[in-house]
Structure 1
Amino acid sequence: MGFMLAQAFHPSMRHAAPVRREIGIRTVFNILGPLTNPARAQCMLLGVAFPQLGEFMAEALRLLDIQHALVVHGEDGMDEITLSGTTTVWEVQDGEVKNWTIDVADTGLSRATTDELKGGTAYENAATMRRLFRGEGGPLRDAVLLNSGAALVAGDKVSSLNDGIAVAAQAIDGGKALETVDVLVEVSQKAG
């Protein structure tokens, strides 16, 4: 499970990166990236910035014969599962697309505004994640639990969102998440 920056791993996207940066708005590459993923992931949690893209992306993933995907759009405009209200989900599984809604109120997690979830610089965000993985609570932890739980559902590791949230909480609270990050940092530094 992970996030890979397209321009670092996808040859075509690497050449488009400078143009995308200069344009400064979402482009067709935001759609093409996940659909042309060279890793050919069969399970995924995929956020879309606009609700109109949800059904389109889900149908494209279905046609690509993706094993299991959750395409999500938060009602607040987030391209992930939101803590501020409801999130629309298009679930791709067994050659079908089903549409449903996640309400954070049904998860046992607390609502939060988008302002409470804003990040900072890369250094600040890394420090925040380390604090979170060491047990710091709050809205950021809840956002991580919620989206990690959904990723575990998409990866067929758990059967429900609430089970996924519990598994994610256990990984953080038991130190496994921080241990995994430390290994990733070490391997990344050795790789150059």
Structure 2
Amino acid sequence: MKKLLNLLFENYTLSEEEAYQIMVDISESKYSDIEIASFLTVFNMRNITLPELNGYRRALLDLCHQVNMPNQGLDIVGTGGDGKDTFNISTLSAFVIAGAGEKVIKQGNYGASSVSGSSNMLENFGYEFSNNETKLNREYDEIGITFLHAPLFHPALKKVAPLRKSLGVKTFFNLMGPLVNPVQPTHQNLGTFDVKTARLYHYVMQNSDNKFSISTALDGYDEISLTSPTKVYTNEGEFLIQSQDFGFETIKAEEISGGISIEDNAKIFLSVLKNESSKARKNVVLANSALGLKTINPTKDLKECVAIAEESLSSGKAFEIFKKLTNR
């Protein structure tokens, strides 16, 4: 690792095969925490290259715990690491989409640089993480949504989880998470914290068979925020989406901020699912849900997808899905 670090500090970039092998070595605990922390720091000082991203991704998918289940469904997930400390928007959107009758296969993790990742939130509500095929398939078939806690499927992610939490800043592992769902669902709604990363994702996803949408708010959110225009990349091309395209007004950042604790965020989470939240919080969830629904049904326009999401939320269907998954 010392030789490699010296090369990287001189702006050396890794080939796809070199990146692949490093990820394998990390998963096999061949490096110390200090070596890994130094390695991660490199990619906070320069952008990751496409060969590096492809190598890391391929290694994580090759090494992951394989799950025998249908891949017909949607994953909706953001990179995190945007520093915006919002509430759990994409996780809520997953329940809204499932409440609309679509299959959701969501992967998530604990927050590394934020108060509450999707795993923190679901664990708070009593959901038991598992990589057991029987449990996951039952949830998929009977409830319409299942959740894959990333460390149970990716040995490298499990290895670096405590280190990432200690560092408390985004790392390139934030970039990897949305790309390495073990099931590789047929539809993926991915959020990134900047346009450069969104473009990298676009290059990666263009070489897959999946239908996808990749979103990045121009003011730095890793999802549709309604606080600014959002750049979206899909199988059909790239677009700029405004709040008005959903039928909503532009909102202020403070209107969608999360709480300072998991408990605070849990209260916000439940208020949205119960259709009792502020208008801004509800609308930002509806907007992200709508893009997910449009990813599955590209012939529908965004306002039509908003109406479908609104019905899922106002009818209580999304909340019922949540209660079934968490046994509440």
Please, what TM-score do these two structures have when normalized by structure 1? 0.86
| Corresponding residue of 2:241 | 102
Q: Deviations over 1:99-156 (max 9, x none)?
A: 1011002221122112110111222222222222222241100010000111111223
| Corresponding residue of 1:71 | 214
Contact 1:72 1:88 in 2 (8 A): yes
- 2:179 aligned with 1:35, yes or no? yes
Contact 1:134 1:178 in 2 (8 A): yes
- 2:319 aligned with 1:175, yes or no? no
| Corresponding residue of 1:126 | 266
- How much does 1:37 deviate? 2.0
- How much does 1:179 deviate? 0.6
Contact 1:43 1:66 in 2 (8 A): no
* Cα distance in structure 1, aligned partners of 2:313 and 2:307: 10
* Cα distance in structure 1, aligned partners of 2:284 and 2:253: 10
In structure 2, runs of 5+ residues without a counterpart are 1-103, 110-149
User: How many correspondences in the alignment?
Assistant: 182
- 2:233 aligned with 1:116, yes or no? no
Match for residue 87 of structure 1 among 211, 226, 230: 230
The one-letter amino acid paired with 1:117 is I
Match for residue 55 of structure 1 among 193, 199, 214: 199
**Shift in alpha-carbon separation, 1:133–1:158, aligned structure 2, 3 A:** farther
* Cα distance in structure 1, aligned partners of 2:304 and 2:179: 28
| Percent identity between the two aligned chains | 26
* Cα distance in structure 2, aligned partners of 1:158 and 1:24: 41
| Corresponding residue of 1:164 | 305
Structure 1 vs Structure 2 CA RMSD? 1.8
Contact 2:294 2:302 in 1 (8 A): yes
Please, what TM-score do these two structures have when normalized by structure 2? 0.52
Worse-matched range after superposition: 174-183 or 124-133: 124-133
**Shift in alpha-carbon separation, 1:158–1:123, aligned structure 2, 3 A:** farther
Worse-matched range after superposition: 150-159 or 165-174: 150-159
Q: Deviations over 1:14-57 (max 9, x none)?
A: 11111222222221212222222212122111111121111111
- How much does 1:11 deviate? 2.6
Contact 1:48 1:54 in 2 (8 A): yes
* Cα distance in structure 1, aligned partners of 2:217 and 2:164: 24
In structure 1, runs of 5+ residues without a counterpart are none
Worse-matched range after superposition: 4-13 or 105-114: 4-13
Contact 1:152 1:158 in 2 (8 A): no
**Shift in alpha-carbon separation, 1:160–1:118, aligned structure 2, 3 A:** same
* Cα distance in structure 2, aligned partners of 1:49 and 1:164: 24
| Structure with larger RCO (C-alpha < 8 A, sep 6+) | 2
